[in-house]
Chains A and B, each alone.
Chain A
Amino acid sequence: MSRTLTYREALREGLDEELARDPNVVIMGEEVAQYNGAYKVTEGLWKKWGDKRVVDTPISEAGFIGMGIGASMLGVRPVMELMFWSFHSVAFDQLVNNAACVRYMSGGLCHCPIVVRGPANGGTNVGATHSHIPEGLFAAFPGLKVCAPATPADVKGLIKAAIRDNDPVYVMENTLLYGNSGEVPDPADGDHVVPLGVADVKREGSDISLIAHGRSVLHALKAAETLQDEHGIHAEVLDLRSIRPLDVEAIVKTVKKTNRVVLIDESKPFGGVAAMVTTIIMENAFDHLDAPVQRVCSIDAPAIYSPHIENEQLPSPRRIIEKVLKMA
């Protein structure tokens, strides 16, 4: 039996189950405890688990993330919330030099089983400094793992996999997804874990592949529906879910099936996940392409504030449909 939960509730349920499973799991972050979370993801967890397991930190990202990394080397398993992933910049040395490199530089003597999670998205009129989408940035550092779940079931399954993983995993959520509802398996039916590195075909199709992650998956699904209803084009939607490790097999499989690809990626076009996936397609499935790979990314400028126009900067069903129709 599955139930309908919001993305926020599913994520919270995943955190709650992991707090129960492993006494070394500790949630840390700004406003995560007594305030119940800036986006209410951790609501009720402090009341249930108390001061030791759910810890409010000051606004001090380099300090508390570095603290979590240090504690993880001794066996504590911190799950740290960045109120916005955009705030990674003030903790970059900890997130990259320490978390990603300490295992390597110690010749494998240390490891760093941390999770850093929080929203990474545009579309909320908060301006450029609060709208960074750094999944491609962090996936570019060997030693780190990154995922970007799009649905309630996936965010629950992936947060649990991330917490159990013995490497640093950065989970990129989306404030515009927190309120979305979806089916989530019942805990009574077993432990719902979505492994890192497994993409998911969210819609079957035969004419073109729309490959996306995060909220862009929902745009792709909407676009696919319109393409079918109004243009008779059957689009397949592949949700990457995990960025690193990456399900290269699933990418190649859908390309071989449809022979045409549009990648949808909310980050900027230079570098990033879509650029990387394009390269993988060129390296692994070039002979199966009937048209050049196309991308729909955010318009290449810092995120604009204006509520009148911000959504136009981001990928949308309309922009995806336009791109697909140009390829026909």
Chain B
Amino acid sequence: MSSASSPSLDFASSPVNHALTPERKIELYSQMVRIRRFEQVSLKYYQAGKIGGFLHLYIGQESVAVGTISLAGPDDHFITAYRDHGHALAVGMGMNECMAEMYGKQTGCSKGKGGSMHFFAPDKNFWGGHGIVGGQTPLGLGLAYGLKYLGKEGCCLCFLGDGAVNQGAFHESLNLAALFGIPVVYVIENNGYSMGTSQKRSSAYRGCLAQRAEAYDMEWDVIDGSDIYEVRAKTHIAMERARKEHQPTVLEIDTYRYYGHSIADANHKKYRTPEEIEHYKKNHDPISVFQRKLIAEGVLTEDKAAEINNAARDEANAAVKFAEESPAPTIADISTDVYWETDHQTEASKIGRHFFDT
């Protein structure tokens, strides 16, 4: 959390933000609000027993997904871990298919086969949604490797939590990224806690987590996640470095989650004080901070903000209705999407037995 207390610079005037039209600023604000309302509604129905498994909420971290993904061009790709709802909505996935996925319905983005942690939209360059801590970091490297191999001028934004930085796969990925010159940007969303263990109790580091990149001779930066302008300004530099120079970067974005690791995390009020959570909400909430800036800029009004909030809440409630009314997968659906060849009924799929059901 090193830069959250450093004097805040004016990133609104950096070129990438200066170029934003008022409409685009409202859009970024709306996206953040949509994520928050979606998550709040998800929580309500999770607690009502409508959603199975785990629920890792993105509330408090919205500026990270929205700020970084807003910089993407057609050949930029994204992959993240299990706290994936924010990224999914930021890449343009609809609330309906996301909510329906959590409801385990056929109309879910993964046909009800993945759940909350496994949202995917390859048509929007979004490659999940991965449940094993750090397991997606070599995949993000591979997506970026693929872009370079195929001659595309793009990069991969690979998101991970601060709890993932101690996984071996991440370090292997950093080494390969630097060694091969891979256009990947690792974005550590540092919410301060790897599940219930604070950063200080889980990681050995000097300065900040991103500084570990120096060991791999790689560029790094720390970003105050409460300011979406700062997120955009600094991430843009890393993405350009990746696209133009095939050089990777590690970014650490200081952020905060208001809820537990997952909603099943009953201890989250024990390892954090109510004062800590309140302090963050009051001073660093990325939506409130951006809202105040936009009002000061004359781009947004209180009324317009309320309107955006209401629309987002209605949209999330409509998604619940869509999910409720959607059909559940059938027993036959269990056996599809296992092999590409059998799904496509290719010649190869007709040779030998692929499934061994009794």
Contact = CB atoms under 8 A, between A and B. Distances in A.
Given A103-B340, A104-B338, A71 B145 contact: yes
Contact of A105 (B118, B147, B344, B355): B118
Given A93-B169, A106-B120, A76 B149 contact: yes
A57 interface: yes
A264 interface: no
Please classify how large the interface on chain A is, using the bins under 10, 10 to 19, 20 to 34, 35 or more.
Answer: 35 or more
Please classify how large the interface on chain B is, using the bins under 10, 10 to 19, 20 to 34, 35 or more.
Answer: 35 or more
Nearest to A106: B120
B135 A98 contact: yes
Contacts of A182: none
* Interface-central residue, B109, B150, B346, B353, by most chain A CB under 10 Å: B353
A62 B77 CA distance: 21
Interface string B144-176: 111101100000000000000000110011011
Interface string A108-125: 111101000000000000
A104 B138 contact: no
Contact of A70 (B145, B341, B346): B145
B110 A67 contact: no
A106 B169 CA distance: 22
A201 interface: no
Given A57-B176, A73-B127, A98-B135, A107 B337 contact: yes
Contacts of B77: 74
A107 B110 contact: yes
Given A62-B172, A108-B343, A166-B341, A70 B139 contact: yes
A63 B172 contact: yes
A283 B169 contact: no
B176 A73 contact: no
B352 interface: yes
Contacts of B132: 93, 97
B176 A60 contact: yes
Contacts, number: 192
Contacts of B169: 62-63, 66, 93-94
A104 B132 CA distance: 15
Nearest to A199: B352
A245 B150 CA distance: 31
A26 B149 contact: yes
A44 interface: no
B352 A69 contact: no
B317 to A, nearest CB: 24
Interface stretch (A6-14, A190-198, A216-224, A315-323): A190-198
Contact of B146 (A76, A106, A246, A283): A76
A197 B338 contact: no
A58 B142 contact: no
* Interface-central residue, A62, A142, A165, by most chain B CB under 10 Å: A62
Interface in A131-166: 142-143, 145, 161, 165-166
Interface of A: 24, 26, 52, 57-58, 60, 62-76, 93-94, 97-98, 102-111, 113, 142-143, 145, 161, 165-167, 195-198, 242, 244-248, 276, 280, 283
The 3 closest A-B CB pairs, nearest first, are A197-B352, A70-B142, A66-B138
Interface of B: 77, 79, 108-114, 118, 120-123, 127-132, 135-147, 149-150, 168-169, 172-173, 175-176, 179, 336-341, 343-344, 346, 348, 351-356, 358
7 contacts: A66-B142, A70-B138, A107-B110, A107-B120, A107-B337, A166-B340, A246-B353
